[in-house]
């Protein structure tokens, strides 16, 4: 029988990558000055599992390399090799090498052998640096049976306690019988009196004759589990030796009394509870299954809203029972929605955990001293958002390290502690998560930003407020670093960071104090599947404005609305002139016949404001976001659509795009 093990590869890769992450974070925690045994144990266990799995599933390169790693770790664990910073560095690099090997194995491509060979050599040299007995599997040298041997004579005297290690002489006899023709003679000790016998002890000793061409090593192998629990003599059975054959063992049946193991039958009721899987805290589920579930719950929420709307028109007395049931449906749907959303929530640690290594490596490369602090790593966020925020965050952390934190000398000269601090902080605020990346470095230089902006042809008058100057950093192609380093100047600018965050319906703000540091604040919705929106009416149509973008709604006095040039209008809001755009113009609907109320919704994005003229404000509600591009096609100024309680489709406005689109037209 040959079983195909490839079905387990996916699990093996997943757990191995997790194991590598565990190793990495534990290695970074490892302080050569005070080594915690459990930390090394954790690292060792992870390496050990990867090695074992690699061997079992046929990834020999992985298991061979990890074996070196494991041997080194074992020496560290047992204390025979001191933990040094160099060793930790070597182990970290080895983790990368294993990752490369695993990636290559998973993708079915050859591994980057130069990388691997270099690390392998380093590991081998480290191991050779101190002669420690290798834990090789070489067994004792086996002698071939003498030429004349036709088998083996075996004297086997088990110790009384043999059964108590779960062993059974019959198992060994069966195994020997499988090697050839076995005859056995059982002996009871002559001096044994019945009073001395213990039902749980093994008192029988054996004289065996095995007619077989098997080597002595093979025969000894059968006794491997009990060799220190018995007396064992094995001698060749020569052709000349003609002793009478002993009792033939067949099918493992012999006339020894069974051990007392069966003497204590346990009455087990058939109704005994099944405990399989009990205690396993989690299961792995493919994400697409969860996505389907979330989608279905979204549909259910819409259906429920339709029912609620229909129910609202019914006579509460006549339909009391129906309405009670509808109210219950409402509660249950909400609870279901929340728990289903909860499934996809992952702690921020998912992203934060990659930064200690990044900071460790980059700080080393830049010759800076930097400490990373994370706060609120257990704050939860939707998986799809977490995955998309990882790259922007990485970029911001790189920036903080490269441009923000000064060198140790510069810091000391400025009267700051030698070690810079980068803080990652996550917290929930309302329906959003706020992530802060702050450093205590040199801060942003207003003058340098302005100079750079002008050299790039951007409009940057001196009158700009600090906040507006900082926003210039987010302009495409902007970089103040004088030298493009291989750390952060990779051509991916802050504009990409901002674009990614806006695409998640998020906001990004920047604060800085010269000499004291920079702080980037990102605000994101907890999930992309549901949106808090303000529903507004234009004629017969309903539109949703994301609540995150809404600053206020107001009724403008006619004298506050001014027309500039031919058609551009602005509205005065507390002495600030804000561009005004009628939503019906924007979406190509006829103006409402009677609209003298000048109802406006003030939205803000990228630090710029825009007033949208609407016919009516309908209220605030949570809507299930449907992707327009996958269901219909991309619509300008709209980020998505939703289905309302009455079954109609409402488009969701894209505040960022609206502001970007209208601003230049008005400014011109």
- Residues of this chain that interact with another protein (CB under 8 A) are 1-3, 5, 7-9, 11-12, 14-15, 42, 44-45, 48-49, 51-57, 63, 70, 135, 137, 139, 163-167, 170-171, 174-175, 200, 224-225, 228-229, 252, 259-261, 264, 266, 268, 272-273, 275-280, 284
Report, in Å, the least distance between residue 104 CB and another protein: 18
| Closer to another protein by Cβ: residue 132 or 635 | 132
CB of 53 to another protein, least distance (A): 5
Q: Which own/partner contact pairs does 56-64 have at CB distance under 8 Å and 24+ positions apart?
A: 56/5, 57/5, 57/8, 57/9, 57/12, 58/5, 59/101, 59/102, 59/105, 61/101, 61/105, 61/111, 61/116, 62/16, 62/98, 62/101, 62/102, 62/105
Residue 232 CB, nearest approach to another protein (Å): 15
Q: Which is nearer to another protein, 46 or 302 (CB)?
A: 46
Helix (H, G, I), strand (E, B) or coil at 378: coil
Contact 237, 211 (CB under 8 A): yes
Minimum CB distance to another protein smaller for 200 or for 241 = 200
Nearer to another protein, 68 or 573 (CB): 68
Q: Closest distance between another protein and the C-beta of residue 203, in Å?
A: 15
- Closest distance of CB 260 from another protein, Å: 8
Residue number with CB closer to another protein (47 or 602): 47
**Least distance from another protein to the Cβ atom of residue 98, Å:** 15
CA dist 95 and 101 (Å) reads: 10
- 252-277 exposure pattern, b = at least 16 Cβ within 10 A, e = fewer: eebebeebeeeeeeeeeeeeeeeeee
**Least distance (Å) from another protein to the CB of residue 63?**
7
Rounded distance, CA 323 to CA 290, Å?
31
What is the closest distance, in whole angstroms, from the C-beta atom of residue 40 to another protein in the complex? 12
Q: Give kind and range of the element (H or E) at residue 306.
A: helix 287-312
259 vs 404, which CB is nearer to another protein?
259
Given the complex with another protein, which of 100 and 200 has the nearer CB atom?
200
DSSP class of 123 = H
What distance in Å separates the CA atoms of residue 93 and residue 514, rounded to the nearest whole number? 37
Least separation, in Å, of the C-beta of 161 and another protein? 10
- Between the alpha carbon of residue 85 and those of residues 82, 89, 101, 464, the distances in Å are 10, 6, 24, 49
Closer to another protein at the Cβ: 200 or 391?
200
28-31 contacts at long range (C-beta below 8 A, 24 or more positions apart): 28/92, 28/356, 28/357, 28/360, 30/83, 30/88
Nearest to 614 by CA among 544, 518, 521: 544
Cβ nearer to another protein, comparing 3 with 318: 3
Q: E strand or H helix at 656, and its extent?
A: helix 655-667
């Amino acid at each position: 029988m040959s079983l195909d093990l490839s079905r387990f590869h996916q699990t093996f890769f997943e757990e191995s990558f997790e194991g590598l992450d565990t190793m990495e974070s534990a290695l970074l925690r490892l302080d050569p000055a005070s080594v915690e045994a459990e930390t090394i144990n954790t690292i060792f266990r992870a390496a050990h599992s990867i090695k074992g799995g690699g061997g079992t599933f046929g990834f020999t390169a992985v298991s061979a390399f990890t074996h070196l790693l494991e041997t080194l770790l074992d020496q560290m664990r047992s204390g025979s090799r001191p933990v040094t910073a160099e060793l930790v560095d070597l182990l970290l690099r080895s983790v990368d090498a294993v990752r490369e090997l695993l990636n290559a194995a998973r993708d079915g491509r050859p591994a980057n052998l130069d990388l691997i060979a270099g690390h392998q050599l380093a590991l081998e040299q480290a191991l050779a640096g101190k002669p420690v007995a290798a834990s090789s599997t070489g067994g004792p040298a086996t002698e071939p049976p003498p030429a004349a041997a036709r088998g083996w004579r075996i004297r086997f005297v088990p110790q009384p306690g043999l059964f108590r290690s779960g062993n059974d002489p019959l198992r060994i006899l069966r195994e020997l019988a499988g090697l050839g023709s076995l005859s056995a003679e059982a002996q009871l000790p002559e001096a044994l009196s019945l009073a001395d016998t213990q039902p749980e002890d093994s008192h029988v000793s054996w004289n065996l004759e095995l007619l077989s061409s098997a080597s002595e090593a093979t025969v000894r192998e059968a006794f491997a589990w009990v060799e220190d629990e018995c007396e064992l003599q094995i001698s060749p059975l020569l052709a000349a030796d003609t002793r009478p054959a002993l009792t033939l063992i067949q099918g493992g049946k012999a006339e020894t009394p069974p051990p007392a193991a069966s003497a204590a039958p346990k009455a087990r009721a058939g109704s005994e509870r099944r405990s399989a899987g009990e205690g396993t805290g989690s299961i792995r589920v493919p994400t697409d299954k969860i996505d389907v579930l979330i989608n279905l719950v979204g549909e259910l929420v819409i259906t429920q809203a339709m029912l609620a709307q229909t129910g609202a028109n019914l006579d509460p007395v006549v339909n009391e029972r129906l309405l009670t049931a509808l109210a219950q449906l409402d509660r249950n749907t909400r609870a279901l929605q929340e728990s289903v959303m909860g499934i996809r929530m992952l702690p921020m640690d998912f992203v934060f955990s990659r930064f200690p290594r990044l900071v460790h490596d980059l700080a080393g490369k830049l010759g800076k001293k930097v400490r990373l602090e994370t706060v609120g790593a257990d704050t939860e966020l939707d998986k799809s958002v977490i995955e998309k925020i990882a790259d922007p965050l990485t970029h911001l952390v790189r920036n903080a390290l490269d441009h923000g934190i000064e060198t140790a000398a510069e810091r000391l000269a400025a009267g700051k502690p030698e070690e810079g601090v980068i803080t990652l902080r996550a917290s929930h605020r309302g329906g959003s998560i706020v992530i802060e990346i702050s450093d205590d470095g040199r801060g942003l230089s207003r003058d340098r930003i302005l100079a750079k902006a002008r050299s790039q042809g951007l409009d940057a008058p001196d009158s700009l407020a600090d906040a507006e100057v900082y926003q210039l950093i987010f302009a495409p192609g902007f970089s103040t670093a004088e030298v493009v380093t291989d750390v952060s100047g990779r051509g991916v600018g802050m504009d990409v960071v901002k674009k990614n965050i806006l695409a998640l319906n998020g906001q990004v703000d920047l604060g800085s104090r010269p000499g004291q540091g920079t702080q980037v604040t990102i605000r994101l919705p907890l999930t992309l599947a549901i949106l808090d929106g303000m529903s507004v009416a234009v004629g017969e149509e309903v539109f949703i404005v994301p609540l995150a973008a809404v600053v206020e709604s107001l009724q403008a006095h006619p004298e506050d609305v001014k027309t500039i040039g031919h058609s551009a209008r602005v509205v005065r809001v507390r002495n600030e002139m804000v561009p005004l755009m009628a939503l019906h113009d924007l979406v190509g609907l006829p103006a409402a016949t009677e609209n003298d109320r000048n109802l406006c919704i003030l939205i803000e994005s990228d630090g710029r404001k825009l007033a949208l003229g609407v016919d009516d404000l309908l209220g605030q509600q949570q809507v299930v976001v449907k992707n327009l591009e996958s269901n219909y096609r991309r619509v300008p100024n709209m980020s998505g659509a939703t289905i309302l309680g009455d079954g109609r489709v409402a488009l969701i406005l894209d505040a960022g795009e609206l502001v970007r689109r209208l601003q230049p037209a008005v400014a011109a």
